[in-house]
Every structure is written in structure tokens, then in C-alpha cells.
């Protein structure tokens, strides 16, 4: 959630074409909600500052992107550790409310002068954000983080393949399906079926989030539409969080831990992405973001003691390779793709 994570990096480009996921579109998982949301400004910075050609600058930018990916996924792992105190629904509420506050303060969106259709789009976008993050957190509450991120990543990957007109895209689809088959053969019997279903549903909403983000960017300046949509998502999540944990969400320790999750999953990834996009080509940025399933698996192993079998490791690798291939295919078809909608993550 976010994610993410996290992802609206086209939100500041009115009239921009629909993104080409996962690199040209949503690069961060749901957990990157605020990251993906706030990073709408990173596209503007990326276009405003010429790309550096020095090798040292590129290597630094690569390190920044990888640092953002690692922070995002480890933020998701910390969120899992917070579940006993606040519950999955409670953590979603904390994340979305904090993200909305940050975005409203940073963007100060204009409320007047928008048509009814614009507000309807914002409400639908916000509902997609809330649903995406809720489903993802329900998934990681039931199945290992690496498996959840991998299954969720299929959403933007399928969208990327579906919108491509090149036969080679079928190769990437086959690799992704092979990864899912391996996960199913080695792990679905031990994975909670509901958790796997939640992850796949979160991926479907992630794909819709990509399309909604592009359309919102066409109707609202900069990240205004995203800030308003995040506010809608926060409002929608509050009843679920309160019903789940009630007053426990107001506990200072819980709020502090929620802020730490928001920092790791939102503020830090966004800042690192913002700096990296000033020097790194968008296509290269998108490829690096395809490492998220592997980073999620590493975070789950190190913080949550979620071990992987050899087959599950190969499955995650296949999905990563398929994502990289889809990004490169999109880039070669239409020029360098621009980074677009975390997630959230804002995810994770």
C-alpha cells in the first residue's frame, strides 16, 4: 500500500499517454502509497534536470534506486511486525492517513474549478488506492512477503504485455507464467489460498491504478489529483481500521511505529527516487524497479524469517526477468519509457 508502492510519476504531466507498466507505469508496489504518490514530483525533477552522462553519477543513481527499493520492501516487512499491535487493516489506515497528510501539506491541491467528472475520477482513483493497499496488506498477513510481491507484480506485468504489440512480449508472459507455476507447484499447497488470492487481486487493482493515475494526471496539475485521491483512500480506510483495532490505533507507540513504516515505505524511497531520476534514464529506472520481488523476498527472509525453497527462488527470478524484459520491450518500442505510478506503495 503503497506501493505503492511506490507510482504516480505521470501525475504531473497533463496529457501524458497511458503509462506502460511496470517500468513505464507503476514501478512501486502498493506499500509505497505515499512514496508512489509523492513521487509524482520526481518526474518533473527528472525532466527539468538534464541526465548526467558521467559514469560515477549513473552508479550513484543506481545505488539510490536500489536503496529506495530495499527501503520500500523492508518497510513492508516492518509493517508485518506491526500487525499484532494494529492489525493489517489498522496499519493500512495509519499508512494512508499519514500519506494523505503529507501529500495535502506538500501539494496544497486546489479544490475549486474542477468538473463533476474530475471529482468522480478522484473518488474512483481513491477507492482503487484503498482497495489495492488493503488487499496487499491482507496478503502479507497470510503469506510470505516475497511470494505476495511476486504475485502482485503480475498485475502491471500483464498490463504491460497486453498493451504491447510485439511478439517478444509473449516470451515475457511465458516467463511470468512459468514463475507462477513454480510458486504454485512448490508453495501454493503451503500458502494460504486467501493470501494468494488477495495478492493477485491487489495486482489487478495495481494495473487499474496505473490507468487511473494516467487519467488523473491529465485532469489535475502536478500531484494535486493524487493528493486528493489519497485523501479519499484514507477516509475509506478509517472505518475498517477503527472496526479492526479501534482505540489501539491512537496508542502513541503504535502511531510511532506507523510513522516509521511510513518513513521507510514512503518518505525515504521517494527522496531517493527523486535524486536518482535527475541523472538516471527513465528506462533504466524502470528496470531497477523490477527488482522489487527479489527485495521483498530478502526482506521477508531477514526480518520475518520467511525462508524460500530453491523453486520459489527460481520463480521470483523468472518474474523479475519477465518484468525487465517487458520494460525493455516497451522502451525500444516507444523510446525510453518514463517512470510512472509505488506503492505505495507506496507495497508494500
| Residue 254 phi, psi (nearest 5) | -65, -45
Please report the pLDDT score of residue 162 as a whole number. 75
pLDDT tens for 264-315 read 877 677 678 767 777 777 666 667 777 788 888 888 888 988 887 777 788 7
pTM of the shown model: 0.73
Strand, coil or helix: 7: coil
For residue 225, which of 343, 341, 118 has the smallest C-alpha distance?
Answer: 118
Please report the pLDDT score of residue 343 as a whole number. 37
pLDDT tens for 179-214 read 776 766 555 556 788 998 999 999 999 888 878 878
Please report the pLDDT score of residue 58 as a whole number. 73
Alpha helices by DSSP H, 246-309: 252-262, 268-276, 282-289, 292-304
Please report the pLDDT score of residue 84 as a whole number. 92
CA 115/CA 146 separation, integer angstroms: 42
CA 94/CA 1 separation, integer angstroms: 11
Query: Where are the chain's structural domains?
Result: 30-334
Please report the pLDDT score of residue 283 as a whole number. 62
CA 330/CA 30 separation, integer angstroms: 22
Please report the pLDDT score of residue 239 as a whole number. 94
Taking 50 as the pLDDT cut, the residues of the chain under it are 1-53, 335-348
Amino acid at each position: 500500500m503503497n506501493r505503492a508502492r511506490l507510482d504516480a510519476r505521470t501525475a504531473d504531466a497533463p496529457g501524458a499517454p497511458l503509462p506502460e507498466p511496470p517500468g513505464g507505469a507503476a514501478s512501486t508496489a502498493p506499500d509505497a502509497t505515499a512514496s508512489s504518490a509523492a513521487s509524482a514530483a520526481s518526474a518533473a525533477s527528472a525532466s527539468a534536470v538534464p541526465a548526467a552522462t558521467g559514469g560515477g553519477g549513473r552508479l550513484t543513481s543506481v545505488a539510490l534506486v536500489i536503496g529506495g527499493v530495499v527501503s520500500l520492501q523492508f518497510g513492508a516487512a516492518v509493517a508485518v511486525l506491526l500487525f499484532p499491535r494494529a492489525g493489517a487493516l489498522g496499519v493500512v489506515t495509519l499508512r494512508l492517513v499519514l500519506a494523505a497528510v503529507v501529500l495535502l501539506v506538500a501539494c496544497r491541491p486546489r479544490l475549486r474549478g474542477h468538473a463533476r467528472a474530475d471529482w468522480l475520477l478522484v473518488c474512483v482513483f481513491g477507492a482503487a488506492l484503498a482497495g489495492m493497499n488493503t488487499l496487499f496488506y491482507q496478503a502479507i498477513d497470510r503469506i510470505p512477503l516475497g511470494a505476495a510481491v511476486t504475485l502482485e507484480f503480475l498485475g502491471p506485468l500483464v498490463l504491460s504485455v497486453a498493451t504491447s504489440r510485439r511478439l517478444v512480449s509473449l516470451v515475457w508472459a511465458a516467463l511470468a507464467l512459468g514463475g507462477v507455476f513454480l510458486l504454485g507447484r512448490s508453495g501454493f499447497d503451503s500458502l494460504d489460498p486467501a493470501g494468494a488470492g488477495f495478492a493477485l487481486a491487489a495486482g489487478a487493482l495495481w494495473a487499474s491504478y496505473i490507468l487511473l493515475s494516467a487519467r488523473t494526471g491529465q485532469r489535475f496539475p502536478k500531484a494535486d489529483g493524487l493528493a486528493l485521491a489519497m485523501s479519499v483512500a484514507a477516509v475509506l480506510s478509517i472505518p475498517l481500521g477503527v472496526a479492526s483495532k479501534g482505540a489501539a490505533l491512537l496508542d502513541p507507540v503504535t502511531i510511532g511505529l506507523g510513522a516509521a513504516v511510513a518513513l521507510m515505505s514512503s518518505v525515504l524511497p521517494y527522496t531517493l527516487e527523486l535524486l536518482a531520476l535527475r541523472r538516471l534514464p527513465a528506462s533504466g529506472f524502470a528496470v531497477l524497479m523490477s527488482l522489487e520481488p527479489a527485495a521483498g523476498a530478502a526482506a521477508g527472509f531477514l526480518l520475518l524469517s520467511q525462508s524460500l525453497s530453491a523453486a520459489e527462488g527460481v520463480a521470483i527470478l523468472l518474474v523479475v526477468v519477465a518484468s525487465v524484459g517487458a520494460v525493455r520491450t516497451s522502451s525500444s518500442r516507444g523510446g525510453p519509457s518514463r517512470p510512472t505510478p509505488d506503492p505505495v506503495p507506496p507495497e508494500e
